[in-house]
Amino acid sequence: MEATLCRNLDLKPSRCSPLSTKLKKPTSRPCHSQRFSCLYRRRSDSWRPLIMPCAWYKPKSEEQHLGCQELLGSLGKGFFGFAAAAAALVSVCCDSPALAESLTVAFPVSRAQEVNTVQRTLVEAWGLIRETFIDPTFNHQDWDSKLQQTMVEMFPLRSADVAYTKISGMLSTLGDPFTRIISPKEYQSFRIGSDGNLQGVGIFINAEPRTGHLVVLSCVDGSPAARAGIHEGEELIEINGERLDGLNSEAAAQKLRGSAGTAVTVKLQSIKDSGGDSSIREVKLPREYIKLSPISSAIIPHRAADGRLTKTGYVRLSAFSQSAAADMENAIHEMESQDVQAYILDLRNNPGGLVKAGLDVAQIWLDGDETLVNTIDRDGNMSPINMFNGHALTHDPLVVLVNEGSASASEILAGALHDNGRAILVGHKTFGKGKIQSVTELRDGSALFVTVAKYLSPALHDIDQVGITPDVQCTTDMLNSPKDFLLKDKSSVSSLEADSCIMVAEHELDIQQSKGTAS
């Protein structure tokens, strides 16, 4: 399903008084996108024109109160730029939002048309943040004055790219790395990824929030990056000879994408385990068509502790794209038809994506009217998101695998299944990304990402910067357990069966089945 972008209804602008600079605070938070009109005033050719945008609008009728914002559960750790991966959205509509008062701002307009266009975009972005940003103090600064200051700084510019940099600098003062703007070209690439088809090299990139360094999270199976032996944790330091210092992950991903049949050269740095020594290597990667399927599955034959031969259904979910829930339903139906008795859901290194996809997947495993997640808005209001008369596809025992690469929507799903008593969590502590972003396409084709809420698990556990601690850790030490049924002849088993965390998961499933209960 293609993401539905927020579009305003036919709204009538408030009247603006020229040169007025009085800023009125909104009476409450409307949810519709902002639009503005511009009045140009020139006394002579030697005078610079002025632009007076009306950043707040009043609808013509009560029926036009309803607006729509795109929400996504962030793309995992920091900014996930996908060289060949998807980031996805979920549409959430507001319910009769109250309206803000009108205001008028005066500032000098650039003579350069492309910069003038970005100035208009800034007003849109500023208004959206003013309404919805999770911190109503805007990081303890005067957000209205910030608009005036940035507009003045934009005036002498002649390049749209530099003007966008000014907006990015203004957004950075909010102290939230997930609130950002991307250019129209970057946004087109971002949307292409939501279809699951890209032309690129198959790398998932993670910009570490603390250092800003771009590191490899994972590679798409069978992609050029995977074939070249690029692996998780390597730092990406150059693309085609250009240093990446200060570049965000989406911009880096844009440089990696390109037409199939072309090539890109990357330089990577890896840290060796012993002594902290590092090595640098350069790799030339061909670009190809990358088909991203969020689901992979297999049936693992398993001999239980009592000697019975059983079947364990293994499902790996790599990202929460638009097709994730439907693909998972198909996989489960197929395995149920083959008499699978238990399941392992692998969310390791899943950076997130669509919040809605995470909730839809949770409902595949749950019954009734369970709470899936709780959201908290910037006024501190908590709202549960509940199922309605849910019917699980299977009640077989379930173990969910998580690790430090499981973030955002992965944590929502893991929390929903765990807190509702449906699954045991095995692995390592999750990343701890508990914020939700909206994304709105602006009038010039760029897109604004704004952190609008945070979430808690159904049991009201705070996830942001905390993460979820699994019920059972899986480490290599556990392979030395005296319990022989955990040890297998690795010469005759698949790579899945040799995975220590999957072995531990099978052990937990054995315990559940021996008790005669299903989670």
Cβ burial, residue 219 (10 Å; 0-12/13-18/19+):
buried
The mean of the pLDDT values for the chain is 75
CATH fold for domain 198-291: Pdz3 Domain (2.30.42)
Q: Which of 74, 321, 408, 438 is catalytic?
A: 408
Enclosing H/E stretch for 69: strand 68-72
pLDDT of residue 42: 30
Query: Quick one: pLDDT at residue 198?
Result: 75
* Entry pTM: 0.65
Buried b / exposed e along 297-336 (16+ C-beta atoms within 10 A): beebebebeeeeebebbbbbbbbbbbbbbebbeebbeebe
pLDDT of the residue at 247: 83
pLDDT value at residue 127: 93
Q: Does the annotation mark 433 as catalytic?
A: yes
9-44 pLDDT, tens digit per residue, is 222 222 222 222 333 343 333 333 333 322 222 323
φ, ψ dihedrals at 415, nearest 5°: -65, -40
Mean pLDDT for the stretch of residues 239-246: 90
Instruction: Provide the 8-state DSSP code for 167.
Output: H
How far is the C-alpha of 343 from the C-alpha of 332, rounded, in Å? Answer: 9
- Given a cut of 90, whether residue 186 has pLDDT beyond it is no
Higher pLDDT, 276 or 89: 276
Q: Among the options 433, 446, 454, 519, which is catalytic?
A: 433
What are 444-488's pLDDT values in tens digits? 999 999 999 999 999 999 999 899 999 999 864 444 443 333 333
Neighbours of 63 (CB within 10 A): 8
d(CA 464, CA 462): 6
pLDDT at 386 over 60: yes
Q: Which CATH number is correct for 295-437+450-481+490-517, 3.40.630.40, 3.40.228.10, 3.90.226.10, 1.10.620.20? A: 3.90.226.10
CA distances from 208 to 235, 257, 259, 374, 509 (A): 10, 21, 28, 27, 35
Q: Tell me the mean pLDDT in the region 162-169.
A: 94
How does pLDDT run across 125-139, given as a tens digit for each residue? 999 999 999 999 999
Q: How far is CA 422 from CA 39, 129, 298, 473, in A?
A: 59, 38, 21, 18
- pLDDT for res 310: 85
Give 427's pLDDT tier (boundaries 50, 70, 90).
very high
C-alpha to C-alpha distances, 416 to 68, 161, 207, 268, 356, nearest whole angstrom: 26, 42, 27, 37, 13
Q: Say if 198-291 and 295-437+450-481+490-517 have the same CATH topology.
A: no
Q: Place 170 in a pLDDT band, splitting at 50, 70 and 90.
A: very high
Pairing type for strands 68-72 and 435-441 reads antiparallel
- R_g (Cα) of the chain, nearest Å: 25
Note the pLDDT of residue 512.
85
Task: Read off the DSSP letter of residue 60.
Answer: S
- The span from the CA of 147 to the CA of 127, in Å, is 10
User: What distance separates the 2 farthest-apart alpha carbons in the chain?
Assistant: 93
pLDDT of residue 189: 66
Question: CA neighbours within 13 Å on the CB side: how many for 484?
Answer: 2
* Distance (Å) of CA 418 to CA 52, 158, 425: 53, 54, 7
**pLDDT category of residue 164 using cuts at 50, 70 and 90:** very high
The predicted structure's pLDDT at residue 382: 94
Quickly tell me which residue has 């699951």 as its tokens.
Answer: 196
Give residue 294's pLDDT band: very low, low, confident or very high (50, 70, 90).
Answer: confident
What are the sequence ranges of the domains in the chain? 113-176, 198-291, 295-437+450-481+490-517
Q: Is the pLDDT of residue 255 over 50?
A: yes
Lowest mean pLDDT among 102-116, 168-182, 458-472: 102-116
Higher-confidence residue of 194 and 367: namely: 367
Share of the chain above pLDDT 90, in %: 45
H helix or E strand, kind and range, residue 237 = strand 235-239
The arithmetic mean of pLDDT across residues 76-86, rounded, is 30
Tokens of 232: 């998780």
Q: Where are the alpha helices (DSSP H) in 57-216?
A: 113-132, 143-154, 160-172, 184-194
Q: Report the amino acid identity of residue 397.
A: P
Which residue is it, tokens 């990358």? 290
Helices (H) and strands (E) in the chain, counts: 10, 27
**pLDDT per residue over 298-342, tens digit each?**
999 877 767 778 899 999 998 888 888 999 999 999 999 999 999
CA distance 120 to 142: 20
